[in-house]
Homo-oligomer: A and B are copies of this chain.
Amino acid sequence: MPDAFRIGLLGRGTVGGAFADLVAERADHVANVTGLRPEISGVLRRNEGDFDEIVANSDLIVELMGGLEPARDYVLRAMAAGKHVVTANKQLLAEHGEELWTIAREHGVQLRFEAAVAGVVPVVRVLQESLAGAHVERLHGIVNGTTNFILSRMAETGAEYADALAEAQALGYAEADPTDDVTGKDAAAKMAILARLAFDTPVSLSDVPYEGIEHLTADDLEYARELGLGLKLIGTAERVDGGLSVRVHPAFLYGAHPLASINGPFNAVTIESPAITEITLSGPGAGGPQTASAVLGDVISAMIPPASTPEPSARLKLIADVTSAFYLHVEVADEPGVLAQLAQILGVQGISVKSFVQKGLGTNARLVMVLHPVLESRLSAAVEMIAGLEFVRSRPRAIRVLDEEF
């Protein structure tokens, strides 16, 4: 039985509950990776738990209370007591980051905060580690899922802002009071944190001018489409004339921009640097389980520096014959009965057709179809049988189609 790694949990709302569940579910796996078994050793809620006792009985503190106080006080006290801290609190970092990072350095503890920015998208880790040696020139982000959902719906359905907001609220993508999201303030706090990391310069929320999406109209999106543009709420941090500009505002993007295809409640960040050209990271922007997963990644990193690849704990059987959807291209002499024979062969192998195009006529016809998923061995058998038909003029061409349900 591996030793326990004790986690004190401050706050047990949606994310806190999801995190406690995830720790229980993944404890064995984490023990294999780190040599220590994580457990929740104490929980602080409004009417439950004693902060000092929880800190004394923990190896690490996870702060998921949100808000400035008492979260700030607790995080400072935990670090002063020599405990690592993992937090998802963007507001706290955007307003008091330098104070917190200073205390972390002074006490030699880790303060990790992947979940504070862009949900499960690992942008904090990539900036702090992969790009620790890089000179970042510019960073663009879609860092608020609520506004991206609203703008995506306005673009897709032609809805006005108020209607798209109401839909977002009904689906749980926007809060009853959506002010912090739709004014751009939430995105500005996240951009302050990202700019601090990317440009090594102190940036707080008050340094970031922001403009929201409330004034945008269905009209704007319609004209934009005619001009080949999509509309997003974009956070920008970039070097300008030897200084730094950090800001949040709606902006049109041309279709080839890596952020143009980010739709719905997703987040994404594009980082530009001469050495790397650019990299883009995208994923869900929020949600209890997603945020909890980002918090757990930070906890594991704090438990043990990843020295080397652990010994394999699984030895999954390697599977050869899998199920795929297929594109099938058959060149035929178009005679009576051709389709019937093809259909019969497909039917024998249990293959059904999703879409179908016929091109050309007479001896020069082509049948192109997309097939529903089928075991590859069955598709191969069908191709062999079709290739043997006398009216088939060349070897049928089969190419897999990914994720037809996507």
Residue positions of A touching B, CB distance < 8 A: 22, 26, 29-30, 32-33, 97-98, 101-102, 104-105, 108-111, 114, 120-122, 125-126, 128-135, 140, 196-197, 199-203, 207, 209, 215-217, 219-220, 223-224, 226-227, 229, 231, 234, 238-247, 249-254, 256-259, 261, 273-284, 287, 289-290, 292-294, 296-297, 299-301, 305-320, 322-324, 327, 329, 355, 357, 359, 366, 368, 370, 397, 399-404, 406
Closest to A265 in B: B277
Known A-B contacts A223-B329, A281-B281; A399 and B319 likewise in contact (beta carbons under 8 Å):
no
Q: A115 to chain B: closest CB distance in Å?
A: 11
Between A and B, 9 residue pairs with Cβ closer than 8 Å are: A102-B311, A134-B297, A215-B397, A234-B400, A241-B319, A243-B317, A254-B403, A256-B406, A276-B289
Which residues of B are found within 8 Å of A108, using beta-carbon distances?
Answer: 307
Which residues of B are found within 8 Å of A299, using beta-carbon distances?
Answer: 133
Known A-B contacts A297-B131, A370-B227; A322 and B245 likewise in contact (beta carbons under 8 Å):
yes
Known A-B contacts A200-B312, A243-B317, A257-B402; A130 and B275 likewise in contact (beta carbons under 8 Å):
no
Which of B133, B224, B250 is within 8 Å of A297, CB to CB?
B133
A246 to B316, CA, bound (A): 11
A211 to B296, CA, bound (A): 37
Closest 10 CB pairs of A and B: A279-B283, A243-B317, A305-B305, A244-B316, A104-B308, A122-B130, A275-B293, A133-B296, A251-B400, A130-B297
Contacting pair B282 A279 (CB below 8 A): yes
Which of B126, B140, B202, B397 is within 8 Å of A402, CB to CB?
B140
Which of B207, B227, B278 is within 8 Å of A327, CB to CB?
B227
Contacting pair A312 B281 (CB below 8 A): no
Known A-B contacts A200-B312, A308-B111, A318-B245; A125 and B133 likewise in contact (beta carbons under 8 Å):
no
Contacting pair A327 B229 (CB below 8 A): yes
A26 to B98, CA, bound (A): 24
Closest to A34 in B: B132
Known A-B contacts A399-B216, A402-B252; A133 and B327 likewise in contact (beta carbons under 8 Å):
no
Q: A316 to chain B: closest CB distance in Å?
A: 4
Closest to A298 in B: B130
Q: A294 to chain B: closest CB distance in Å?
A: 7
Which residues of B are found within 8 Å of A370, using beta-carbon distances?
Answer: 227, 229, 252
Contacting pair A129 B300 (CB below 8 A): yes
